[in-house]
Structure 1
Amino acid sequence: MYWLAQVNIGRMLAPLSDPVMAGFVAKLDEINTLADNSEGFIWRLQTPEGNATSLRHFEDELILVNLSVWTDLATYANFVYKSQHRQLIQQRRQWFQKFEGPYTAIWWIPREHTPDVKEAKERLEHLRIHGETPYAFTFKKTFPAPAESDNISSPLIVKG
Structure 2
Amino acid sequence: MSQPVLHLAELNVGRLLAPTDDPRVAEFMAALDRVNGLGKRMPGFVWMMEGSGEPGTGNTETKIDGDPQFVSNLTVWESVETLEHFVFNTVHRAFYERRAEWFEVLGRMHFVMWWVPAGHRPTLDEALERLKHLEAQGDSDHAFGWKYLKEAQAWKTHGCAQVAAE
Q: TM-score range by the shorter chain?
A: 0.7 to 0.9
1:86 aligns with 2:93: yes
3-state DSSP of counterpart to 1:76: helix
Alignment counterpart, residue 115 of structure 1, candidates 115, 122, 131:
122
In the alignment, what sits opposite 2:63? 56
Alignment partners' CA distance in 1, 2:131 and 2:110: 7
1:25 aligns with 2:29: yes
Residue pair 2:52, 2:61 contacting (<8 A) in 1 also: no
Structure 1-normalised TM-score?
Answer: 0.86
Structure 2 segments unaligned to the other structure (5+ residues): 152-166
Letter in 1 for 2:138: G
CA distance in 2, matches of 1:127, 1:143: 17
1:29: how far off?
0.9
Query: Alignment partner for residue 16 of structure 1, among 20, 30, 33?
Result: 20
Question: Which structure: greater helix fraction?
Answer: 2
User: Cα distance 1:109–1:143, how it changes in 2: closer, same or farther (>3 A)?
Assistant: farther
Deviation for aligned residue 1:143: 6.7
For this pair of structures, how many residues does the alignment match? Answer: 144
Q: Distance in 1 between matches of 2:108 and 2:142?
A: 17
Give the alignment's TM-score, normalised by structure 2: 0.83
Distance between the aligned counterparts of 2:8 and 2:106, measured in 1?
A: 23
Instruction: Give a deviation string over 1:54-98, Cα, whole Å, max 9, x none.
Output: 111323321101000000000000000111110011110110000
Partner Cα separation in structure 1 for residue 20 and residue 52 of structure 2: 18
CA offset at residue 48 of structure 1?
Answer: 3.6
Letter in 2 for 1:15: P
Choose which of 124, 130, 139 in structure 2 pairs with 1:132: 139
Equivalent residue for 2:7, pick from 3, 19, 25: 3
**8 Å contact kept, 1:137–1:143:** no
Q: Partners in 1 of 2:83 and 2:95 — Cα distance?
A: 15
RMSD of Structure 2 on Structure 1 (CA): 1.4
* Structure 2 residue aligned with 1:37: 41
CA contact (8 A) 2:61 2:68 kept: no
In 2, Cα distance between equivalents of 1:48 and 1:97 = 25
